[in-house]
Amino acid sequence: MKNFTVRAGLPDPVLERLARLYTILSRLEGSGGPRPFSSKAVGELLAVPGHTIRKDLSLLKTFLQAEQEADPDRAADSDQGYDAARLRSLIGRGLGLEKVRPVALVGLGRLGSAILHKKREWTDLRYPIAAAFDASINRIELTRTEVPLFHSREIVRVTREKGILVGILAVPAEAAREVAERLVEGGARALVNFTPVLIAPAGKGVVVRNVSLTGELDIISGYLDREGV
């Protein structure tokens, strides 16, 4: 995989804030949300100070200009407010969020089936589900979808043949690590792990996001406690 300077140079917290902002702006754009946004308003969307957003965007523009991709006036000056569409485009180019990255879904239980059958809500055209896998032949035969289905034993081969870059793990906890290893062996460079097992990066350049509902609830609980609730 090509090592993009912009992605490599942005600190992780900045990258994550900007990616979250891109998602929020996409939703607002689809619902005809208000624009332009002040840096304070943008910060409120992310629950961070406005000056943090200004620094993040300034850093992003610096890297884009270094790559000779940026138009300094692409997003409006923060004193005048940020135009939502231009700001979304700036972030999308800077983080490579407009690229198509094929996805593999592993596990066709309740969560996996929900993702498979509601894929337009869970993903979009940038993250097409190129293949789905399960260890149960019976479940594969009974699942009705236009997405190609395969037995889990074929993860390595299919992932490699379809050029899949992202794997979504919705498998039982005991299968999580083995599935992660197979996806990476097949060429996947990122894993979204919905199992309760913590998955560590299985190789250099592999990104893992361990998604935990309990963890999110703990964060919310911390905020509530801070507010005296």
Could you read off the pLDDT of 69-114 as tens digits, one per residue? Answer: 545 444 544 456 778 888 888 899 888 888 899 999 999 999 999 9
223 lies in a domain?
Answer: no
Q: Comparing C-alpha atoms, which of 117, 215, 207 is closest to residue 167?
A: 207
- Peptide bond preceding 49 in cis form (omega within 30 of 0): no
Residue 193 and residue 126 share a domain? yes
Residues 140/134, Cβ–Cβ less than 8 Å: yes
pTM of structure: 0.82
Q: Comparing C-alpha atoms, which of 38, 39, 41, 35 is closest to residue 54?
A: 39
Of 95, 130, 155, the one marking the end of a domain is: 95
Of 95, 118, 144, the one marking the end of a domain is: 95
Give the pLDDT mean for 134-163.
Answer: 96
Give the pLDDT mean for 17-35.
Answer: 77
Look at residue 183 and give its three-state secondary structure: helix
| Domain span holding position 140 | 103-214
Residue 107 and residue 91 share a domain? no
177: its two tokens: 């690590």
